[in-house]
Chains A and B, each alone.
Chain A
Amino acid sequence: MTMALSETSQVFLDRYAELRGRLAGADLPWLAKIREDAANTFRVTGVPTPRMEDWKYTNLKALDALELVFAARPAEVRADMLPAKLGDGPRLVFVDGRFRADLSDSLEIGEGIRLASLADLLSADPGFIEPRLADFGDNATGAPMLALNGAFQEDGYVIALDANADAGAAIEILFWDTAGEAAAVRQPRNLIVAAANSRAEIIERHMGAGSSRQFFNGATLITLDAGAAIGHYRVQSQGAGSVHVNTIRTRIEADARYESFILAEGGEVARDEVQVGLMAAGAYARLDGIYLADGAQVLDSTTTTRHAAPNTTCQETYKGALDGTARAVFQGAIRVEPGADGTDAQMSNKTLLLSDDAEIDTKPQLEIYADEVKCAHGATTGELDAEAMFYLRSRGIPEVEARGILVEGFLDEVTEAMDDTPFAHLVRGHVAAWVGRGVKEKEMKG
Chain B
Amino acid sequence: MKSESTERMTAVSKTVETVQSVADRKYKYGFVTDIEADTAPKGLNEDIVRFISAKKDEPEWLLEWRLKAFRHWQTMEEPDWPKVSYPPIDYQDAYYYSAPKPKEGPSSLDEVDPELLATYDKLGIPLHEQEILAGVKNVAVDAVFDSVSVATTFKATLAKAGVIFCSISEAVKDHPELVKKYMGSVVPYSDNYFATLNSAVFTDGSFVYIPKGVRCPMELSTYFRINAANTGQFERTLIIADEGSYVSYLEGCTAPMRDENQLHAAVVELIAMDDAEIKYSTVQNWYPGDENGVGGIYNFVTKRGACRGRNSKISWTQVETGSAITWKYPSCILQGDNSVGEFYSIAITNNYQQADTGTKMIHLGKNTRSRIIAKGISAGKSQSTYRGLVKMMPKADGSRNYSQCDSLLIGKECGAHTVPYIESRNKSAQVEHEATTSKISEDQLFYCRQRGLSEEDAVALIVNGFCREVLQELPMEFAVEAQKLVGISLEGSVG
A residues near B (Cβ < 8 Å) are 1-4, 45, 51, 53, 338-339, 351, 353-383
Contacts and interface: CB of A to CB of B under 8 A. Distances in A.
Contacts of B410: 371
Contacts of A376: 434-437
Chain B contact residues: over half helix, strand or loop, or mixed? strand
A101 B446 CA distance: 66
Nearest to B404: A378
Given A353-B424, A371-B412, 11 more contacts: A4-B5, A45-B1, A353-B426, A360-B423, A363-B422, A364-B418, A365-B419, A370-B412, A371-B410, A377-B435, A381-B392
B433 interface: yes
B438 interface: yes
Nearest to B413: A338
Given A4-B5, A360-B423, A361-B421, A372 B437 contact: no
A368 B416 contact: yes
5 closest A-B pairs by CB: A353-B427, A371-B409, A382-B430, A366-B418, A375-B437
B418 A371 contact: no
Interface string B385-413: 00000001010000000000001011111
Contact of A3 (B1, B411, B420, B422): B1
Contacts, number: 125
A372 B439 contact: yes
Range class of the B interface residue count: 35 or more
B2 interface: yes
Nearest to A343: B437
A356 B2 contact: no
Contact of B423 (A53, A361, A372): A361
B414 interface: yes
A37 to B, nearest CB: 20
A314 to B, nearest CB: 13
27 contacts: A1-B6, A3-B3, A4-B3, A53-B81, A355-B427, A356-B426, A358-B425, A359-B423, A360-B423, A360-B424, A361-B422, A361-B424, A362-B422, A364-B420, A366-B418, A366-B419, A367-B417, A371-B410, A371-B439, A373-B439, A379-B432, A380-B430, A380-B431, A380-B433, A381-B429, A382-B430, A383-B428
Given A363-B419, A368-B416, A369-B415, A381 B430 contact: yes
Nearest to A386: B428
A379 B431 contact: yes
B260 interface: no
Contacts of A369: 414-415
Contacts of B419: 363, 365-366
B146 interface: no
Contacts of B5: 4
B422 A358 contact: no
B286 to A, nearest CB: 26
B4 interface: yes
Nearest to A4: B3
Nearest to A375: B437
Nearest to A362: B422
Interface string B276-313: 00000000000000000000000000000000000000
Contact of A366 (B2, B437, B439): B437
A373 B420 CA distance: 20
A279 B422 CA distance: 30
Contacts of B438: 373-375
Contacts of A364: 418, 420, 433, 435
Contact of B409 (A3, A4, A351, A368): A368
Nearest to A369: B415
Contacts of B415: 367-369
Nearest to B431: A381
Contacts of A368: 407, 409, 415-417, 437
Nearest to B401: A381
Contacts of A371: 409-412, 414, 439
Contacts of B435: 364, 366, 376-378
A373 B410 CA distance: 11
Interface centre among B394, B412, B422 (most CB of A within 10 A): B422
Interface string B128-147: 00000000000000000000
A156 to B, nearest CB: 31
Nearest to A367: B417
A353 B421 CA distance: 17
Interface string B1-19: 1111110000000000000
B423 A366 contact: no
Nearest to B385: A367
B17 to A, nearest CB: 22
Contacts of A372: 439
A354 B5 CA distance: 41
Contacts of A381: 392, 422, 424, 429-431
Contacts of A338: 412-413
A444 B414 CA distance: 62
Nearest to B418: A366
Nearest to B5: A4
Contacts of A51: 1
A366 B130 CA distance: 41
